[in-house]
């Protein structure tokens, strides 16, 4: 198995995505693409945890509202694995502002405003590593062979 095929990204379904019944739809897209689910949990994240998750945005005017939004209900936290999982995951989510997201992307298809954009995806391999470590313990990451592997990858 090529090492590049093991790239991991942290994907989350935000409280609005959960409340709007989009959990299955969002998971379905990552599954159907061919990415492998490595970890998943349904949880109410604390404000401190969310402040840490978005620490790079701490000086932005929307930071505290963003933390309140993310804390307003449960989220689905996931780790997905595959070739270019970080970059392709972001493409699948669409632009940060749904108004700029193309139809066919998750944000392009299911939401309207930037402050209610239903999903999160890591923006680099480095931030994916940090986010995965923040949201999951090592033993929560499941390493199982996917029976479709040879049908998704050339090598």
Catalytic residues: 120
Interactions with ligand IDP, residue window 28-47 (CB under 6 A): none
Q: How does DSSP classify residue 100?
A: G
Q: Which stretch binds ligand IDP (CB under 6 A): 26-34, 36-44, 73-81, 110-118?
A: 110-118
Question: What distance lies between CA 13 and its chain's CA centroid?
Answer: 7
Least distance CB 45 / Mg ion (angstroms): 16
Least distance CB 151 / ligand IDP (angstroms): 31
Interactions with Mg ion, residue window 95-124 (CB under 5 A): 123
Could you give the CA distance from residue 88 to residue 80 in angstroms, rounded to a whole number?
11
114 touches ligand IDP by CB under 6 A:
yes
Which residue in this structure is represented by tokens 């939401």? 111
Q: How does DSSP classify residue 79?
A: E
Contacts of 140 (CB under 8 A, 6+ apart): 39, 41
Q: Which is nearer to Mg ion, 124 or 148 (CB)?
A: 124
Could you give the CA distance from residue 29 to residue 73 in angstroms, rounded to a whole number?
23
Binding partner at 114 among ligand IDP, Mg ion, none, C-beta below 5 to 8 Å by kind: ligand IDP
Q: Which stretch binds ligand IDP (CB under 6 A): 24-32, 77-85, 117-125, 129-137?
A: 117-125
Tokens matching residue 121: 């995806």
Q: Which residues sit at the interface with Mg ion, rule CB under 5 A? A: 123
């Amino acid at each position: 198995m090529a090492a590049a095929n093991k790239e991991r990204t942290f994907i989350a379904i935000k409280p609005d995505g959960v409340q709007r019944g989009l959990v299955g739809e969002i998971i379905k897209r990552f599954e159907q693409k061919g990415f492998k689910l490595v970890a998943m949990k349904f949880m109410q994240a604390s404000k401190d945890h969310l402040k840490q998750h978005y620490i790079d945005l701490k000086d932005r005017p929307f930071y505290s509202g963003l933390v309140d939004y993310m804390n307003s209900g449960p989220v689905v936290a996931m780790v997905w694995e595959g070739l270019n999982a970080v970059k392709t995951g972001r493409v699948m989510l669409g632009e940060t502002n749904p108004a700029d997201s193309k139809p066919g992307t998750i944000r392009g298809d299911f939401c309207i405003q930037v402050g209610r954009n239903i999903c999160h995806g890591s923006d680099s391999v480095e931030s994916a590593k940090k986010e995965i470590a923040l949201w999951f313990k090592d033993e929560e990451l499941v390493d199982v062979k996917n029976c479709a592997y040879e049908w998704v990858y050339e090598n």
